[in-house]
Amino acid sequence: MAAREPAHVVELTVAQLRPRIYEALRIYVTAMHYPPATVRQRAPMWLEHMQRDGWSCVGAFHGDTLVGIAYGYRGARGQWWHDEVQRGLKAADLAAAQLLLTDYFELTELHVHPDAQGKGVGEALLTELLSRVDAPRVLLSTPEGPTRAWRLYRRIGFTDLLRNYRFAGDSRPFAVLGRTLPL
């Protein structure tokens, strides 16, 4: 999957992503080092996310090959991630940070195939997606550790809201980060 030219980033509608959902999920599974069966487990969730208020998606392509995907939507009470983060903020007694959960865009997924990483694809996806967002802030979670994702989020100006948090069903520590919009 070596790139000869820079990836081009385009908006993907629900109708455009739906037939490529398994291609996008394979990027997710590969980038996150999850077992291949995760594709089948996550497909219904991603399809449900496409129906949420404010859903927006961009894809990065080398020719006709999808090499990166980013999407998100308006976060709201009753959504799993929102409620998990709210629980973590309450447990950490971060009442002021809980106010950030009232009007925000949740950057749900941002993944670049490992063969395309380190070439600016993640930053291009992030900046293009967030340029389309009509919300005062963006929030995300990412596994703790020195990764390319961490360096990207810091370079773009994301700051800590919650550190070393363990979401239900995942033993790894995560950080919840946020920043105001526009970029």
Active site residue 71: no
**Count of Cβ atoms closer than 10 Å to residue 98 Cβ:** 15
Tokens 């993907």 found at: 12
The Cα angle at residue 74 between residues 179 and 38, in degrees rounded to 5: 95
Cα→Cα distances 38→32, 74, 122, 158, Å: 10, 25, 22, 28
**Tokens linked to 107:** 């950057």
Which entry of 71, 73, 153, 165 is annotated as an active-site residue?
153
171 phi and psi angles, rounded to 5 deg: -80, -10
- Report, as residue numbers or ranges, the catalytic residues: 153
